Structure 1
Amino acid sequence: MIVERTVVRPHWKKGYRVTAGERRGFSDVHDYRRYRLAPPPHGYRWVRADHDFLLIGITNGVISSIISGR
């Protein structure tokens, strides 16, 4: 018997604090220019969550900006 899983993606919102567990599933975006993203301000970094780009605070994990998948 094959069991299918339904993956529910969180709906990212500006101001949402990303948990440490959620952050482990993200990949850092070092080549942000390739994706036509603005350079991250000091204290922030771009991460990729599925097909979305999130600008999050390095120390607090709060989402500052969201770019929907391209």
Structure 2
Amino acid sequence: MKKLILSAIAATLVASPMVASVAEAAPQQRTVTTVKERANGRTVVTTRTTETRGWRAGQRFDRRRAANYRIVRDYRTYRLAPPPRGAYWARSGRDAVLVRNNGTVIRVIQRSFR
């Protein structure tokens, strides 16, 4: 009986960091509810779910999951370094993301846009 309990405790200790890392890597979701009242007395409620994602170097950049995605061509305006050959700066929310042409994230600068 002691061996069974000890093996269960050991399995729990081994598996717990894996569960935590999967939870951290998953994108966070935010629900936005908009309520509008029209002149005719009707109330329109719109609910949408958006994913907020914290990009990290080495991840695959998917522009469909980036909030407010734009390619940044005037990088000097935002005090960003010129991108190396075969890369470009992209905007994802308030973050500046340096992306290779194959879609791999090279660098992330958080809160570089207002």
Q: TM-score, normalised by structure 2?
A: 0.52
Q: What's the secondary structure of 2:64's corresponding residue?
A: helix
Distance 2:103 2:65 in 1: 10
Give the match for residue 44 of structure 1: 87
- Deviations 1:15-64, CA, capped at 9 Å, x for gaps: 001236347x6211011000000000000000101111000001x10000
CA contact (8 A) 2:97 2:109 kept: yes
Greater helix fraction, Structure 1 or Structure 2: 2
Distance 2:69 2:46 in 1: 26
Give the match for residue 8 of structure 1: 51
Greater strand fraction, Structure 1 or Structure 2: 2
Residues 1:21 and 2:58 are matched in the alignment: no
Task: Decide whether aligned partners of structure 1 residues 51 and 14 sit closer, same or farther in structure 2, where only a CA change above 3 A counts.
Answer: same
Distance 2:111 2:74 in 1: 16
| Structure index of larger Rg | 2
Q: TM-score, normalised by structure 1?
A: 0.81
Distance 2:63 2:79 in 1: 27
CA contact (8 A) 2:53 2:65 kept: no
Which ranges of structure 1 fall in alignment gaps of 5 or more residues?
none
Identity %: 35
Q: What's the secondary structure of 2:55's corresponding residue?
A: coil
